[in-house]
Structure 1
Amino acid sequence: MKIRARVPIRLGVLLVATLAVLAAGCAELPELPQGARPSPAPSHPPYAPTPADYKAVQDLLTQRAGAALKGDEAGFLATVDRRDQKLVDQQQTIFTNLQRLPMKSLAYEVEETERTPDEVRNDGVLFAPKVVEVAQIEEAHRAPVAHPTDMTFVRHDGGWVVGRDRPAPSRRYSRPWFGGPIAVATGRSVVVVTERDGPTGAAELLDRLSTARTVIKEALEPVWRGEIGETPLLVDSTYNGQPPGDTFEGDDGAAAVTYWVDAVGPPRSDMPTLAGAVIKDNPAASNRLAADDRTLRHELSHVYGPALVPTWVNEGLAEYLSGCESNICGEDEERDRLLAHERAIPDDEEWGEDGPIDYAISHGAVSWLIDDNGGLKKFLEFCNDFFLHKPAGSDDFHDGTGKALRASYGLTEKQLIDGTWAWFEDLPAD
């Protein structure tokens, strides 16, 4: 027999009395302390925006941009829902970052396209039009650049204010002011942005960049790029922003990436106008450019190197000019794997499927052409003429490799492959 647990007499009497009161339906339970009560969910009634709402938000953001350019923190924060301290703290950091950058212009364009609003922490109807931020950084852009945003506005005290401001769900964007605190250093046609408390200061990185840029530009002086004047450059060594695609993801994620940003405004010709180049550092990489001069030189080679060439030429030349001589760049760790690998130069669509191997093949091919077949000047002439040999209708520059090799070197692609693997043979054995 299982013995029932005994209830003390006083507690038993209390339980009976309590049950009797509840059964009578007239009991009022004691209130919970204020701190123990869950906060009610904010109220966001459905709302259909009108043309006047779009104009009101445009006016609000015009005020915001003007305040940022004038250094008016109070005016900038007046556009934000002050009931949300976390939002206010975020916006104060953004304002401070904008003050540290040499901003030439800042504006917002509100389109009459409504998106689904994000939840905000306070009551009020919500509104989320499409907003594009248009900004130009002096020395880093030759024209303004458009950036997607993800803003939600909330109506408070009879007007709209920013209720939430998040990174846009975009494949890439370059807004170094949007995120954590930054430090900035400015040079001729270059702006360097680092984390305020990061391992490398902005001034130090600018000094190293200037030295490396002089070396790389001198080496690549014969390259035809179609650029007029100095290439404006933004070097972003922060956690802010988003690199193209999945560039930094996985074990083989890049240490840095270089890409170009389009200019906003009427084009100067039939070709799209580029506002400048961006080098985005990967703060999580052990060989990030903030701490590795070889990575820095590699990325600068992409800024000043040939453009109308296949990926194996582009990446191989960047590895070569980074100061990566045979036997000292890590390929020795892959020697056996390289020698056993399929003997082929990866085309543009394949390139990157096996990152370390593709870099090594590209490096070996370019090194063999330069060191054993006429030097850097001849190789750059080969690069300048490469676009002439790409077959009409093809999007893959590698399709012109055979013709380009014959025209510039009198070589076949098989000879290039044999030379590349001979270069691998010279690497030290494990």
Structure 2
Amino acid sequence: MLWMAGVVVLAVAVSAVTWVVRRPDERPVTSSAPAAVSPAPVDDTEARMLAQVDALLKARAAAVVAGQLPAFLGQLDPRNAKLRARHQLQYANLRKIGLRSLTYRREAGWVPEPQAQHGAKAYAFRIMMLVQVNGIDTSARYVPAGFTFAERNGRWLLVDDDDLAAEADRGKTREPWDLGPLEVVRGPGVLVIVPPSERANGRRLLREARIATPAVRAATRRAQAGILIVALGDGRSFDAEWQTGGHPAAAVAVQNYAPINPEATQFKVTGSRIVIHPSERSDADRFLLAHEFTHAAMSPLGHGAPTWLVEGFAEYVEMELTAAEGHTEWLADYRRSIRREGLPKLKVLPIDGVFHGDYDEQSYGVSWLIVEHLVTKYGLPRVNAFYADLAKSPDDPAARDRALAKHFKTTDAALAAAVKN
């Protein structure tokens, strides 16, 4: 039950949903744009090496998309059996997932790092992997990688893939295709990735997703063209820092970033993929998915909306589905507990930095009642317009006050009092 930024640390550029790449990582920041990187002079020897590395990356991507395993393996060091086994499995997983496009690019702003353990002419590169899943992604998603290339008998080959693995800016989680054998269950607009022995659970999650999707569309008036659900047992698929209320989240909506210029120096959010905690993958249901799908639908609008609105709106969609599914008694009990234990503490709208501080586990419920109040009094279209306005605004209390006045003719304190009453 958590919205998380994706795999790039970013600096805000011209608009709220366009960013300039700063460093590959796990969090967005709102600092100023970084200074431009001036490439160092390149001599003829290095130029030939870079040209061969670029050609290898292009051939590697083409081999995956076309299903040409011999050509794919031909780019790997024949002496590194473990590397070849890892990449053969990665190839098989990517083929199972099904790609519309795949591109590997050297990150031009980074100087290749010598890796003497692989020979005198071996260099590690930061690689931009751009992956577009067929039927799911409207554009290619950025994935950071690190490859080491070395010259073998006059030819440059990929000789290792973990010489940059310890660097913090590559993130803590790993992509599904790097985590061992997997199974894929596909339906219209949904692709579920599960362990090989859990295809039945993949089919169950697909059914749950198809029930959740209409509720999300009805509330948000938005939806992703397709959505990827990762439900693996490997703990490396889920960042330990993805927490809510001091414990691991049941699932997260992790943003997808896509480049918007040929140099891939500016990115935009195109949606999210849903990653379910390994311990929750058999229990995740339509209600949890509705919550996360709401985050996925709204995330391209920007990241300026306050946490109470982001989480409260997702809770609202989840609770509307709960009511539609006939769980009225449970919903009434939940509402009473929030009114009894959470609302008495409400004086101002929940603050981002201490979202759980005042209400503990009931912060989501309190936020739900705030959003439900707005929807009931003003209607969904105005709440959606309020959300969109704040999402593209700076993270600024004054901007939020202006939005409350503009859309609802109210203030923070007045809204809190109205919800309590």
TM-score (norm 1): 0.68
Residues 376-412 of structure 1 show CA distances to partners (whole Å, capped at 9, x for unaligned) of: x714413314566x699x7226545555555555554
Instruction: Indicate whether 1:55 and 2:51 are aligned.
Output: yes
Classify the secondary structure of the residue corresponding to 1:177: helix
Classify the secondary structure of the residue corresponding to 2:170: coil
Which of 282, 293, 309 matches 2:286?
293
Which of 208, 226, 250 matches 1:232?
226
CA contact (8 A) 2:183 2:199 kept: no
Partner in structure 2 of residue 417 of structure 1: 416
| Structure whose CA Rg is larger | 1
Partner in structure 1 of residue 351 of structure 2: 347
Residues 220-271 of structure 1 show CA distances to partners (whole Å, capped at 9, x for unaligned) of: 33xxx6x8xx53322223348767893259943322222432333549xxx9
CA contact (8 A) 1:344 1:417 kept: yes
Classify the secondary structure of the residue corresponding to 1:181: coil
Instruction: Mark the CA change 1:54 to 1:111 in structure 2 (over 3 Å): closer, same or farther.
Output: farther
C-alpha root-mean-square deviation of aligned residues, in Å? Answer: 4.0
Partner in structure 2 of residue 396 of structure 1: 395
Superposition pairs for residues 54-93 of structure 1, below 5 Å?
54-93=50-89
Instruction: Mark the CA change 1:399 to 1:326 in structure 2 (over 3 Å): closer, same or farther.
Output: farther
Q: Which has the higher helix share?
A: 2
Structure 2 distance, partners of 1:53, 1:208, is: 50
Which of 302, 316, 322 matches 2:295?
302
Superposition pairs for residues 130-209 of structure 1, below 5 Å?
130-166=126-162, 169-171=169-171, 175-198=175-198, 201-209=201-209
Gap runs ≥5 in structure 1: 1-47, 423-430
Classify the secondary structure of the residue corresponding to 1:114: coil
Structure 2 distance, partners of 1:63, 1:147, is: 18
**Structure 1 residue 64, shift from structure 2 partner:** 1.8
Instruction: Indicate whether 1:116 and 2:117 are aligned.
Output: no
Q: Which moved more, 1:50-59 or 1:122-131?
A: 122-131
CA contact (8 A) 2:190 2:209 kept: no
Structure 1 distance, partners of 2:191, 2:391, is: 39
Percent identity between matched residues is: 23
Partner in structure 1 of residue 313 of structure 2: 317
Classify the secondary structure of the residue corresponding to 1:50: helix
CA contact (8 A) 2:346 2:416 kept: no
Task: Write the letter of the residue equivalent to 1:138.
Answer: N
CA contact (8 A) 2:343 2:366 kept: no
Instruction: Mark the CA change 1:351 to 1:118 in structure 2 (over 3 Å): closer, same or farther.
Output: farther
Instruction: Mark the CA change 1:352 to 1:56 in structure 2 (over 3 Å): closer, same or farther.
Output: farther
**Structure 1 residue 321, shift from structure 2 partner:** 1.5
CA contact (8 A) 1:386 1:404 kept: no
Partner in structure 1 of residue 384 of structure 2: 383
Residues 206-226 of structure 1 show CA distances to partners (whole Å, capped at 9, x for unaligned) of: 2221121022212333xxx6x
**Structure 1 residue 126, shift from structure 2 partner:** 2.3
Instruction: Mark the CA change 1:353 to 1:98 in structure 2 (over 3 Å): closer, same or farther.
Output: farther
TM-score (norm 2): 0.69
**Structure 1 residue 137, shift from structure 2 partner:** 1.4
Partner in structure 2 of residue 35 of structure 1: none
Instruction: Mark the CA change 1:411 to 1:144 in structure 2 (over 3 Å): closer, same or farther.
Output: closer
Classify the secondary structure of the residue corresponding to 2:184: strand
Instruction: Mark the CA change 1:344 to 1:327 in structure 2 (over 3 Å): closer, same or farther.
Output: farther
Which has the bigger relative contact order, CA under 8 A and spacing at least 6?
2
Gap runs ≥5 in structure 2: 1-43, 323-329
Partner in structure 1 of residue 125 of structure 2: 129
Q: Which moved more, 1:78-87 or 1:299-308?
A: 299-308
Structure 1 distance, partners of 2:364, 2:411, is: 21
Q: Which has the higher strand share?
A: 2
CA contact (8 A) 2:312 2:369 kept: yes
Task: Write the letter of the residue equivalent to 1:384.
Answer: A
